């Protein structure tokens, strides 16, 4: 075989391999020359994750308005229009953004829009302190530093498949971003290291903080409102008060923007002290939102723990 024939044979093999990979879904659709990947996100933390991963190499598009409540959201016409122009969409996919799939379907993008499941590599846990019989997977993986890092690298991997020309840049950016999140976690791990956490018990108004509590070795004794937007019955509230008293819970974490009022009857009945944590699901979409609000959450967590030592 001549050198020219060998070169042609190799080219044909390479072309065949690319076609096979495309058929298997391992290579994303090629972007037009000079076109940036347009990545949609369903939640505020995902905006921060993707913005830090892509830098100026891609466009990040929130699927819904920043002031919308993602817990009980109803799709709007403008959301559907937005979905039509996306190349990919980062989703929670385990119960926190079911409306996103309605939007994708209404936009005629079901099966054609690349969905990036942020939690594909995260070890999921059930809702802690749920007074009901059913065990429900907790979707709040984004209120955590450890799970956040896992999601950052999963999103990075998938974006690299869709945009191979920028995959190396995405990996570099993700590594730098993950290092900052690790630094934040280490800072508070050091602060907690001198405290005896074995007897710390807390209750929450919403099951949004289980992953955060788990990574710092803290126990959630009761959740007043395990399913957001579903007010507890009188019996459930009585059971929660009973659980708090029996476990000698002294701290109740309420949701900063939504459920402070829900904790008041519990405070009056048990004497617990209320602290507010952010769910990171409202307000402006910014690249630093996750880091800013997680720092505030960790500071609040530290203050709550220290308050029980006095």
- Give residue-wise pLDDT tens across range 43-92: 999 999 999 999 999 999 999 999 998 988 999 999 999 999 999 999 99
Q: Are residues 171 and 201 in the same domain?
A: no
- Give residue-wise pLDDT tens across range 207-251: 889 999 999 989 888 887 756 656 677 887 888 889 899 888 999
Backbone angles phi, psi at 29, to 5 degrees: -65, 140
pLDDT number for residue 29: 52
pLDDT, the chain, mean: 86
Residue 299, domain extent: 194-307
Q: Are residues 52 and 168 in the same domain?
A: yes
The last residue of a domain, from among 126, 159, 183: 183
Q: Are residues 205 and 179 in the same domain?
A: no
Alpha helices in the chain (DSSP H): 3-24, 44-54, 77-84, 98-106, 146-162, 167-193, 210-215, 234-246, 264-270, 289-307
Structure tokens at 137: 């997977």
Residue 231 lies in a domain: yes
Q: Are residues 51 and 123 in the same domain?
A: yes
pTM: predicted TM-score of the whole model, two decimal places: 0.86
Structure tokens at 81: 């229009």
Residue 209 lies in a domain: yes
Q: Are residues 117 and 224 in the same domain?
A: no
- Give residue-wise pLDDT tens across range 173-188: 999 999 999 999 999 9
The last residue of a domain, from among 149, 183, 217: 183
- Give residue-wise pLDDT tens across range 9-47: 444 444 333 333 333 333 445 566 678 999 999 999 999
Q: Are residues 237 and 277 in the same domain?
A: yes
Q: Are residues 148 and 232 in the same domain?
A: no
The last residue of a domain, from among 163, 183, 203: 183
Residue 86 lies in a domain: yes
Residue 26 lies in a domain: no
CATH number of the domain residue 95 falls in? 3.40.50.1980
How many other C-beta atoms can be found within 10 angstroms of the C-beta atom of residue 260?
Answer: 13
- What's the number of domains the chain is made of? 2
Distance CA 76, CA 283 (A): 18
Residue 23 lies in a domain: no
Structure tokens at 175: 């590594």
Provide the residue count of the chain: 310
Residue 115 lies in a domain: yes
Instruction: Calculate mean pLDDT across residues 115-132.
Output: 84
Residue 16 lies in a domain: no
């Amino acid at each position: 075989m001549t050198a020219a024939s060998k070169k042609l044979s190799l080219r044909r093999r390479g072309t065949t391999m690319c076609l096979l990979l495309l058929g298997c879904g391992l290579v994303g659709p090629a972007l037009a020359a000079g076109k940036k990947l347009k990545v949609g996100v369903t939640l505020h933390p995902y905006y921060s994750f993707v913005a830090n991963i892509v830098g100026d190499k891609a466009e990040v598009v929130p699927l819904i308005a920043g002031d919308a409540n993602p817990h009980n959201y109803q799709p709007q016409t403008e959301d559907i229009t937005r979905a039509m122009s996306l190349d990919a969409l980062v989703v929670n996919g385990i119960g926190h953004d079911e409306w996103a799939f309605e939007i994708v379907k209404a936009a005629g993008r079901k099966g054609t829009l690349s969905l990036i499941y942020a939690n594909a590599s995260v070890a999921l846990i059930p809702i802690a302190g749920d007074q009901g019989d059913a065990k429900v997977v907790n979707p709040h993986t984004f209120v955590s530093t450890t799970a956040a890092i896992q999601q950052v690298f999963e999103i990075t991997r998938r974006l690299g498949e869709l945009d191979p020309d920028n995959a190396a840049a995405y990996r570099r950016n993700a590594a730098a971003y993950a290092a900052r999140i690790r630094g934040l976690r280490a800072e508070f791990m050091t602060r907690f290291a001198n405290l005896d956490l074995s007897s710390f018990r807390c209750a929450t108004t919403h099951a949004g903080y289980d992953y955060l509590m788990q990574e710092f070795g803290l126990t959630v004794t009761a959740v007043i409102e395990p399913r957001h937007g579903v007010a507890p019955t009188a019996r459930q509230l009585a059971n929660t008060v009973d659980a708090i008293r029996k476990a000698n819970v002294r701290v109740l974490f309420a949701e900063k923007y939504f459920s402070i009022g829900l904790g008041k009857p519990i405070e009056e009945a048990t004497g617990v002290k209320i602290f507010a944590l952010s769910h990171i699901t409202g307000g402006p979409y910014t690249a630093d939102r996750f880091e800013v609000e997680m720092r505030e959450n960790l500071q609040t967590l530290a203050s709550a723990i220290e308050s029980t030592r006095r």
